[in-house]
Chain A
Amino acid sequence: GEDVEQSLFLSVREGDSSVINCTYTDSSSTYLYWYKQEPGAGLQLLTYIFSNMDMKQDQRLTVLLNKKDKHLSLRIADTQTGDSAIYFCAEGGNDYKLSFGAGTTVTVRA
């Protein structure tokens, strides 16, 4: 939605790190999420971060949150071909309503 913005495309070489960026406008957001969507499939939750945190690491995934700038990023270390997908940033509050960005298409090249 218009409240969440992401860059549309990212091309990365296999083995390199990918960084996907997102900005949001709702300062009352409680949780921020990263979802992955592969072709013909639904969205899969990759990770989330609570708004009072500034970093979360989960295996190859690192989420950074700059609450002052309302900026969220997802870093994927050692990017593999299986990481090629569309990645959606989403923000939500306590009302269970999520606002999604338009998605970043990540292409991993050999």
Chain B
Amino acid sequence: EAGVVQSPRYKIIEKKQPVAFWCNPISGHNTLYWYLQNLGQGPELLIRYENEEAVDDSQLPKDRFSAERLKGVDSTLKIQPAELGDSAVYLCASSLAGSYNEQFFGPGTRLTVL
């Protein structure tokens, strides 16, 4: 069974440029999460989707970040414009609605903003 797929794995851009990350969750997983992981820190939730609906985007900086999951399957996270402080690893995870909420994580996209 394929795991959570993310692309690209690495991205280097200059500040003020736009960037987009793509995630394909595990087949059949209706819940999708985007996390931000800064160096030396644990992941922090940016947004959670139930199917195509963003049910928790309270931590998403909406002035520059946006996300979509149009058909309730794969998802895109965008930053426009990127700032130096956005350099981090962006993790995608997915899960089935269940009693203990096991979240399966992708390998992440490491973003470097110069």
Contact = CB atoms under 8 A, between A and B. Distances in A.
Interface in B87-114: 91, 93, 95, 100-108
Q: Categorize the interface residue count of chain B.
A: 20 to 34
Contacts of A4: 42
Given A1-B42, A42-B108, A98 B102 contact: no
B100 A101 contact: no
Given A96-B48, A96-B95, A97-B48, A45 B42 contact: no
Contacts of B85: none
Given A31-B100, A43-B91, A103 B42 contact: yes
A71 B94 CA distance: 27
B8 to A, nearest CB: 13
Contacts of B61: none
Interface of B: 4, 31, 40-45, 48, 56, 91, 93, 95, 100-108
Given A43-B91, A43-B105, A50-B100, 19 more contacts: A1-B42, A31-B100, A31-B101, A35-B105, A42-B93, A43-B103, A44-B105, A48-B100, A88-B42, A88-B43, A95-B56, A96-B101, A97-B48, A98-B101, A100-B43, A102-B41, A102-B42, A103-B40, A103-B42
